[in-house]
Structure 1
């Protein structure tokens, strides 16, 4: 498929087989984009692609790939080159949190999480940004989290990684905005998806009331609308925005004590 010939726009979405990534695929397809869906679970990807094509008549390609493979970015690049495929929009959504303190988890476990949350999205931005510049248009959504603003959790590197995504995205937006490329950091809070179940903390978070959770479809819809408006940062939901504002003005000593007591707001 050569979308430079048929004038259709294509979005590349990582972590597309479930949760926020799947919801982004539905939103972009509904808006007329073709999609390239990347995740590890081939059957889930193919099922989603078929559903999107049946619903919207667009083209939906899939690439079953573990982005923590050492040559994962090269495989994505080869896939795009082979199909002469230009990426108009990128959604870096793939990720997870390691539910172990720093000294409990092995270095290989920590390294894999850091790679997926930091190196992979940065590399994919670098991979597609030049083509966006040449075409004079592009949209990049990097999924961060309100965790980027929150108190630390003992031994967890997740907040630090999401803080990197937040700042990296802003830096890219400052560079690429003059070329009509909008880069936005999306910061959801608690979202109903498989994320917490995969982490093994779903039961631990069960005490949090339902009104604190957002649906992934709403998160993705707000994300799409935000990047199309030209936002460089979007925090999903009024409650989450209030929390982030509170964190910004909270003395570091108080944040440290909250982290020490493992208080989740």
Structure 2
């Protein structure tokens, strides 16, 4: 795998990837504004999946379980510019900017229509990646402020996402897990996103599901994979990543143990 990252600052980076496939699962601590230059990325969240290609601009919201599957397209590598919209920067930005947009409690990935202001803001970043040495924080802050100002201009509802600084509170555990079980995240992340300590999460989970989180998660992920194989007629190699497994061999072993036959024999 050939993955290169060039930073203007810790909050603005250019990534270039020339491998066959790259997958990551995370809940980001900050919103991420992505400008896709080339390649293709599939992003999966609860109840929604997206495919982004050259020219697309979108926002991945913080504190939402997200699977990112990236691959080059033909001989074209994956390239993207990412801005980390940290809570600290956003608090400073919104300090003197009241807004009336309703707060979005559970935001989804948000794509932005093509707009000359947004295109100009993002393409102006590219020359900075050629610089050597320390990039002035003052200029980086200006570029992020410019991006935020443009987003507010072209999408008035964005304030309901970027201007919401609340941390996850205690929510319904069963509903959350039924929607997000396919994300291969640490139990500590699941506990945080449901507003619980890890000990409380484990206790509440056993009470609700009458089994351990690990066993329940494996069972649910295999059920999802079986459905995709049997009803959607997909291949094991196209299913295991989206079902929450890290590699095909582990998926095949777990599938055979649960169902008594290999995933390739499902018809």
TM-score for both structures, normalised by structure 1: 0.23
Which is higher, the Rg of structure 1 or of structure 2? 2
TM-score for both structures, normalised by structure 2: 0.23
> Whose helix fraction is larger, Structure 1's or Structure 2's?
1
> Whose strand fraction is larger, Structure 1's or Structure 2's?
2
